[in-house]
């Protein structure tokens, strides 16, 4: 399956600066790699959560935002969809 586009941006997660968020946009899905703090006892370390967004409405909206050269708006749509994927 051929990738359509790869997006990335940096964000601070806890004490970790410059953590990269990555989105690989395929024709039928978006694969995300999102940083978070994984706690074990009283110690936290940086880890990455991976998820897949397959909602065609979200994919169409992201493609439209990118076609309009609105990468920030596309990220907002992707992150909102990722939050919905995480919550039951």
What is the domain count for the chain?
1
Give the structural domain span for 10.
Answer: 5-86
Beta strands in the chain (DSSP E): 5-13, 16-25, 30-40, 43-53
Report pLDDT for 78. 92
Report pLDDT for 60. 93
The number of angstroms, rounded, from the C-alpha of 31 to the middle of its chain's C-alpha atoms is 7
| Per-residue model confidence as pLDDT tens digits over 44-57 | 888 888 999 999 99
Q: What percentage of the chain's residues is helix, strand, coil (to nearest 5)? A: 30, 45, 20
Residue 80 has pLDDT above 60, yes or no: yes
Pairing of strands 30-40, 16-25: antiparallel
| Per-residue model confidence as pLDDT tens digits over 8-53 | 888 888 888 888 989 999 999 999 998 888 898 888 888 888 999 9
Nearest to 33 by CA among 52, 16, 14, 46: 52
């Amino acid at each position: 399956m051929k990738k359509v586009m790869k997006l990335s941006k940096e964000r601070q997660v806890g004490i970790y600066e410059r953590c990269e968020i990555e989105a690989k946009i395929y024709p039928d899905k978006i694969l995300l790699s999102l940083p978070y703090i994984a706690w074990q006892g009283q110690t936290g370390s940086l880890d990455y959560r991976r998820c897949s967004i397959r909602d065609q409405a979200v994919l169409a909206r992201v493609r439209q935002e990118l076609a309009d050269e609105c990468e920030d708006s596309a990220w907002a749509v992707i992150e909102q969809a990722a939050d919905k994927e995480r919550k039951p």
